[in-house]
Structures are given as structure tokens and as C-alpha cells.
Amino acid sequence: MIERLQFYINGTWVDPKTPKQLDVLSPATEEPIGRISLGSAADVGDAVRAARGAFAAFSQTSREERLALLQKIVEVYQGHYDEMAELISREMGAPLWLSKAAQAATPLGHLGTAIEVLKTYSFEQPRGTTMMRREAIGVCGMITPWNWPMNQIACKVAPALAAGCTMVLKPSEVSPLSACLWADVLDEAGVPAGVFNLVNGDGPTVGAAISSHPDVDMVSFTGSTRAGIAVATAAAPTVKRVTQELGGKSANIILDDAELEEAVGGGVRSCFMNSGQSCNAPTRMLVSSSRHDDAAAVAKTTAESMRVGDPFADGTMLGPVVSEAQWNKIQGLIQAGIDEGAELVTGGPGRPEGFEKGYYVRPTVFANVRNDMRIAREEIFGPVLAILPYESEQEAVAIANDTPYGLSGYISSGDLEHARTIAAQIRSGNVHLNGAQLAFDAAFGGYKQSGNGREWGEAGFEEFLELKAVFGYAAA
């Protein structure tokens, strides 16, 4: 049992104002693996005061000082890498190989990108006699989810530090242990007291306190669209900047000139990666009617080849989903797909054979799905794929865009120029051509109800800067 009952405030671990504990459960066993404290508005107040007090000095540090700090964080983090990977697998269920290859690796990508951006970024740009100057925005509240816990923390903290901001982090109470280790890393690396603060807790209490606090200048939120609306509503009275990376229901268009087996197989694996718990997962596969049945057969074979198992067992490709609440939601949507008349190709309700406990889900594929069905409209956040037939490329684009979300799109084609033409018509913040992966130096974010603002790369760095015009800066 790992006990992390304190909060990291002003450079030290402190007790909560009011003790209130919460068990952290293993999604593989449903048994407690750790215990944290749930914070209050008073704890958030202490953390914000610490961040506000540290801002004046930290925002004036030099580029060289912040580069040295970021490089030290990289060095210390590397020393805790295996420990971090194991914690992530234990608390949110990712297979250990995935935690080592991706979950725990992403902070190094974001830290490295922040370092490269900071090295050459022009904070001042002259415009005639005026100087356009970008400065640290101030105290930043950060609210992060459980599905890629360290990725979502690092993609906020790294650029904020590079920009000269101070911050208060509320990680998900479902996956808080990795966040506590991250605080240990920053402490060991010598981040000045008050620059980084961590308060565990739930959204309605700690998240709301951060969002509404008048001394928080910006809130960076990642999570559901529903929760994002609550954050923006709480932030509105103090007119603070709010950036949001929210839900998705991304379309994967398989064009007729694509190699079907490769495109469909890759699409299934991408959809099911991390047990389907990625906001940008390609959960709607669009295939022309003439190739629909062949695509369904490939998807069935691929899904049935993906072994579900304990996160620490050799050969496991998919671990459990994160919680009972998430498992129940997925089961309800699988049943809705059946009830609404979609063709169940493989998988279905219940746990996979051989599992009596743990939040394991059967890899599920539906075919002949209509875009008005719940499984095509709602973010399932589990290993569930919907295959939708289309009659023309124009219809495929229309179906892809017929969603309240707009985070990612995927296009497969044997002709890159053909894929580019379709990509230009997709209303989403990211589009992947022929299986191309995300890049740490590129912007990540969405259109419509998938959010506003951008993370990653230079665009994400600039979200933590405020623009000032200094008139008469130079002689006429």
C-alpha cells in the first residue's frame, strides 16, 4: 500500500487542512494499492498563495536559468523512469510494455520540446517604434485526467516552466500516485519553492476551487467535455484564460485506393491502444459499402488477436479499463449498439472469458453502424470500434464532420495527394495520413466541443504567455 496523504505546497509536503482519505484501486484486481488525501478549497488557497508568491522572482529568471532547470528535471526523471512506468500500470491498468514505451516516455518528449522551443524563442519582436513582448501569463491552474496521466501533466508543466509561470496541479484522483512521484522529481531537480504545487482531490471541490480562484490567471484543463464546461463556467467570473483539450469521436476514413488489410488492421490497433482510453482514438471507421464486409472481416481477425490480460503479464496487449464507473459506461454503450441494430462482429457485453474480476472489456467491433446511433455519437473510451459504410467520398467527409467533436481525423489512401485533399475537408485539430503518429513539436488540440487552445510544441508554449505592446519603445 502506497500512502501519499500530503500535498506538495511551497516546496514541501504538507498535511491537508481537513483529513479526508481515498483509496486508489488497481483496475486489474479491484483491490486498494494506495491511499491519498482529498483536498479542499483551503488547501487550494494555500497552493495558489505559494504560486503567487513565487511568480515575481521565477518569471524574471533568465532563459539560461530555465533551460538548466528543465535539463535537470530530465536528468532526475530518467533516474525514476522504471518506477514511474510501474506506477502508471498499477494505478490505471496500461500494460507494462505500453507504460515503458509510451506512458512514461511522453514527459521526456515534452520536456525536450520545451527545451528546444525555449532555446530560440523570440520573446520580443519590434514593430516600428513598438515592441511586441511576450511574458509569462502568471499563476496557472492545471487539471489533468487519468488516461495518459504523465503525458497530460508534462505537456502542461514543461512549457509553463519554460515560459516562467508558476502553477497548481490537480491530477486525477483515479491516477494520483504517478503525479506524486512527478512532484518528487521536480523537488529533487531543484524547482524553486512555490513554482510547482500539487493538491489532490476531486473535480467538484479542488477543480472548482482552482477554476474559480481570483489569483489563478489561467486554467489548462484536459478531460471530458462535460467537465470542461464546468471549468469554463467556474472561471468565467474572473475572466481568466481557459484552454481545454476535451473529448473526441474521431473518424478514420479508409479510401478505396488504400490497402484494405493494412489500413483496417492498423485502425483497429490504434482504436484499441491503451484499452481504447484515448481522446483521439479512431473510433469510427468509414469504409465504402463495396468493401464494408471485407473490412469487417479484417477488423474481426485483428480484434480477436489482441490479447486482454493482466498489465504485468507477458503478452498482454490490452489491460483493464480504469474503473468500475468506466466499465459500466462501456457496457451500457455496447448494449446500446446491440439494441439499436448495429451488427456485432466480435466481442460484446461482459468480461472476456477467464476473468471474474478486474475491469476488463471484450475487444468489440460493430459493423453496419449508422452515424445516428449512440455508439457513433458518444465517446465510449473503451476498446469498441464502429464501422460505418459510405457510398461516396463526399458522404464520407460529411459523416466524419457530423459530430459535435473535432479532435482528430484519420485517412488511409494509396495516393498521398488524394489523402491531403480529403484532410483539407476534415473539421478537426489533427489529421493523421496513412498511420502517421503525433509529433511532440506539433500542435495538439481540437475544433468544436473537443476544446480550444493548443498543447504541445511552440503553440502549446505560447498558451502560457501574455502579449504586451510597449509603445514608443524605440526612437522614431
- What b-and-e string marks burial along 114-130, b requiring 16 or more CB atoms within 10 Å of the CB? bbbbbeeeeeeeeeeee
From the list 173, 245, 379, 458, the catalytic residue is 245
Does residue 91 carry a catalytic annotation?
no
Dist. CA 189–CA 183, nearest whole Å: 10
Q: Is 340 helix (H, G, I), strand (E, B) or coil?
A: coil
The DSSP result for 413-474, as a single string, is: -SSHHHHHHHHTT--SSEEEETTPPP-TTS-B--SGGGEES-BSHHHHHHTTEEEEEETT-S
Q: Where are the beta strands (DSSP E) in 341-436?
A: 343-346, 364-367, 384-390, 408-412, 430-433
Does residue 180 carry a catalytic annotation?
no
Dist. CA 344–CA 131, nearest whole Å: 62
Dist. CA 199–CA 205, nearest whole Å: 11
The DSSP result for 239-281, as a single string, is: T-EEEEE-----EEEE-TTS-HHHHHHHHHHHHHGGGG--TT-
Q: Is residue 71 within 8 Å of 40, Cβ to Cβ?
A: no
From the list 140, 173, 279, 462, the catalytic residue is 279
474, amino acid identity: A
N residues, the chain = 476
Catalytic residues: 245, 279
